[in-house]
Amino acid sequence: MDVLFGSMQRVGLRASWLIAGLAVALVPALWMWGFTVDDALISVRYARHVAAGLGWRFDARGPSTDGVTPLPWPLILAPFAGTNALTVLLRAKVLGLLVWGATGCALGCATGRVVGAPVWARAGALLTLGLSVPVAAYAVSGMETSVAMAFATSAVLATRRPMAVATFAGLAAAFRPEMAPWAAVLTFGVAICRGHRARAAGFAMLALAPFVVCAVVRFVAWGNPAPLALLAKPSDVQHGLAYAGAAVVVSLTPVLVVAPLSLRRAPVAFAIVVAGLVHVAAVVVAGGDWMPYARLLAPIAPSLAWAAVLLARGAHPVASVARVAAAATLGVLLVLRGGTQGREVGADRAALVALAAPRLQGCRRVASLDVGWVSAATDADVLDLAGTTDPRVAALPGGHTSKRVDATFLLDLAPDALLLYLPAGLPDGGLPDWTSATYSRVLEFRLSSDETVQRHFAPEAWLPLGAKGAGYVLLLRRPDASTFESRPRAPDRGGDTR
């Protein structure tokens, strides 16, 4: 009877940890359900064209282009992509939620099996992960980040088997190329910890294999082994430093592993943290990212929570309490100060798509810096002024919001419509006074100030985005531009900065 009772007690305890891991994954993710980013819809358009048999292309009538950095992602979405863009995005979000929920279960179960770490320390690591808004947001963003998080977490949970670590870490790097150094360093470190010194380098090479395969495919298909985004958004180390510094803080779990003395007594945790530091360095070199919520650090955040569980076995209880308290307090403060407002983005973006769709009917080509939502509002060709999906623009000098797209280049590509973003709304004169509005992005300011653009395009509509005044000026090409006088050139309000 005692044996049966003990067995039931163990099963109940394991179930409790599984449920805790599931709750830590699902509850915050569901709270952030409304979050998404514009780039999610770029992958959706590629997936829709693959599903329709049109091939790997952003525009149905355009050439094949390398516009998706996580190369395998459109192939995963393709089976679900035989419908409109927003429905496909919804399916991608559901897929991300399911993947992250399963990962949370695995992490919870593994945390419950750790012997020697206090229960409160293990629970604190899970709680901190649950408070990490970047993890919750990108689990349901419709991006590939949830899959990268799942593979990265699986890699650190499989540290007893270096081959499994290499496989999972390599798959994570296939979805996020900047994770390749992380994958190699993690696999090498774990192999050393597990006594496979002679084979450590081989395991690290295996971890790089999926990344190399993606690079080879890119070279064969498009003549360049690097993603097009690397050309469209050139690296800026200064921006990368600022981005990485903020990301380390808002991700929360890095705070849990600031324990140099304890890490010396936990070799596997040490290997995970060193790989994390390498990843941060890679993000700096890549120049960071423009998306909110520390997207590039989200994939490794759960792995650092697991490292915190492992190092808690030999850490001083006071130090462990201090780290958990600091991380949890920081997480609560970030949430209270509006850190979850991004969950309104999805609804605002869907309303913008619905408003723009009838306005863009009949257009053959639409030009915009933000092409994801535009691609959901129209099946017309979309001229990507940031160059993320268009190698012609990507090759131009400048950052992704300051490409040297002049009026001649723009008109040669013959867009019927031009969209310009205004973060603070229209000026007092309304839509007719669009040329004197405050455009915060260099390219849009330059185009709005160009006399040739003013002569060839006329304001058609104001498309609001959300309830805070932001929106897009929709300009349509005039039927006979030569009959119109140009408006006065607006005064210079800034240089060509990224």
Same domain, 224 and 326: yes
Same domain, 155 and 46: yes
**Which of 304, 339, 374 is where one domain is finished?**
339
Res. 365 pLDDT band, cuts 50 70 90 = very high
Among the ranges given (11-20, 24-33, 376-385), the one the predictor scored with the smallest mean pLDDT: 11-20
Same domain, 46 and 167: yes
Buried b / exposed e over 247-283, threshold 16 CB at 10 Å, is bbebbbbbbbbbbeebbeebbbbbbbbbbbebbbebb
Same domain, 289 and 329: yes
Same domain, 318 and 395: no
Q: In whole numbers, what is the pLDDT of the chain averaged over residues?
A: 92
Res. 271 pLDDT band, cuts 50 70 90 = very high
The structure tokens listed for 355 are 């408003």
Same domain, 439 and 410: yes
Question: Does residue 497 form part of some domain?
Answer: no
- Within 10 angstroms of residue 195's Cβ, the number of other Cβ atoms is 10
Question: CB-hemisphere CA count at 13 Å for 195?
Answer: 1
Same domain, 365 and 440: yes
Within 8 A by CB and 6+ apart from 10, the residues are: none
pLDDT at 490 over 60: no
Model-level pTM? 0.91
The structure tokens listed for 476 are 């349509």
Q: Are 486 and 451 in contact (CB under 8 A)?
A: yes
Total tally of structural domains belonging to the chain: 2
Question: CB-hemisphere CA count at 13 Å for 365?
Answer: 15
pLDDT digits 0-9 by tens, 113-162? 998 899 999 999 999 999 999 999 999 999 999 999 999 999 999 999 99
Same domain, 156 and 296: yes
Same domain, 208 and 141: yes
Q: Give pLDDT, residue 489.
A: 38
Same domain, 262 and 393: no
Give me the domain span that covers residue 459: 360-483
pLDDT at 238 over 50: yes
In angstroms, the CA 45 to CA 59 distance is 8
In angstroms, the CA 293 to CA 334 distance is 11
The DSSP string of 31-87 is HTTT---HHHHHHHHHHHHHHTT--SBSSTTS-B----SSTTHHHHHGGG-SS-HHH
CATH number of the domain to which 410 belongs:
3.40.190
Question: Does residue 491 form part of some domain?
Answer: no
Among the ranges given (100-104, 342-346, 408-412, 486-490), the one the predictor scored with the smallest mean pLDDT: 486-490
